[in-house]
């Protein structure tokens, strides 16, 4: 029975697995599992933090001597892939109504335009169809991701008058 690898070997194996992808990564994980983890995906998960399902898939690929094709990514494509000019059009509409924090305490850009107003401006000024644009909540999330904060612009507070000098205190 083989002993547990030392911590530097574990770190090296983890790093090597992170550099690989797909079937090559699974083949590497399967080989390491057979050599260092007694062929146990559960022990490999405890030791290296790997997903046991991908290790099982790698072991099955090694046993059958062929690659199991990965499932294609599912889900809806992002709006930045379907509408590549959307972000630049949003910036051109929102930037004139944007300012930074008055005291420059943070890097947020505050805008007075709401997500609904941005959607309406995209339809009127940029020629988008309402059906192809995202919902208002998605537009709000997109604006936040782009660095815009959807809240009223904060005004600076006036400083208090400086205290008067007392006669008893030296100048």
pLDDT digits (tens, 9 = 90+) for 117-126: 999 999 999 9
| Token code pair at residue 86 | 């959307």
Residue 73 located in a structural domain: no
Phi and psi (nearest 5°) for 66?
Answer: -150, 165
**Is residue 118 a contact partner of residue 139, using CB atoms and an 8 Å limit?**
yes
Report pLDDT for 168: 65
Report pLDDT for 159: 66
Residue 70 located in a structural domain: no
DSSP-assigned letter for residue 66: S
Q: Are 91 and 146 part of one and the same domain?
A: yes
Q: How many domains does the chain have?
A: 2
The helix or strand, by DSSP H or E, that contains position 11, with its residue range, turns out to be helix 7-19
Residue 125, Cα to own-chain centre: how many angstroms? 30
Q: How many CB atoms lie within 10 A of CB 148?
A: 23
Give the C-alpha separation, 25 to 87, whole Å: 35
Q: Are 87 and 144 part of one and the same domain?
A: yes
Report pLDDT for 101: 66
Q: Are 60 and 95 part of one and the same domain?
A: no
Q: Where are the beta strands (DSSP E) in 3-147?
A: 98-100, 109-111
Q: Are 99 and 140 part of one and the same domain?
A: yes
Residue 168 located in a structural domain: no
**Is residue 110 a contact partner of residue 98, using CB atoms and an 8 Å limit?**
yes
Report pLDDT for 30: 95
Residue 158 located in a structural domain: no
Residue 71 located in a structural domain: no
Tens of pLDDT, residue by residue over 137-156, are 999 989 888 888 776 555 66
**Is residue 93 a contact partner of residue 113, using CB atoms and an 8 Å limit?**
yes
**Is residue 62 a contact partner of residue 27, using CB atoms and an 8 Å limit?**
yes
Report pLDDT for 17: 92
Q: For every one of its 171 residues, what pLDDT tens digit does the chain have, with 9 covering 90 and above?
A: 467 788 899 999 999 999 998 899 999 999 999 999 989 999 999 999 999 999 999 999 999 999 988 877 778 888 878 888 999 999 999 888 887 766 666 667 778 888 999 999 999 999 999 999 999 999 998 988 888 877 655 566 666 666 666 666 565
Residue 15 located in a structural domain: yes
Phi and psi (nearest 5°) for 150?
Answer: -90, 75
108: containing domain: 79-150
Report pLDDT for 128: 92
């Amino acid at each position: 029975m083989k002993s547990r690898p030392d911590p530097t070997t574990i770190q090296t194996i983890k790093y090597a697995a992170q550099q690989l992808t797909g079937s090559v990564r699974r083949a590497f994980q399967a080989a390491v599992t057979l050599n260092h983890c007694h062929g146990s995906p559960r022990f490999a998960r405890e030791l290296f933090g790997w997903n046991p399902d991908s290790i099982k898939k790698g072991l099955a690929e090694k046993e059958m001597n062929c690659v199991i094709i990965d499932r294609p990514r599912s889900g809806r494509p992002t709006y930045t892939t379907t509408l590549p000019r959307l972000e630049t059009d949003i910036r051109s509409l929102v930037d004139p109504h944007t300012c930074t924090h008055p005291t420059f305490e943070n890097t947020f850009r505050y805008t007075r335009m709401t997500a609904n107003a941005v959607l309406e401006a995209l339809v009127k000024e940029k020629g988008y169809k309402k059906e192809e644009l995202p919902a208002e909540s998605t537009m709000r999330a997109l604006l936040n991701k782009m660095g815009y904060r959807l809240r009223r612009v904060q005004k600076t507070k006036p400083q208090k008058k400086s205290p008067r000098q007392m006669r008893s205190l030296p100048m």
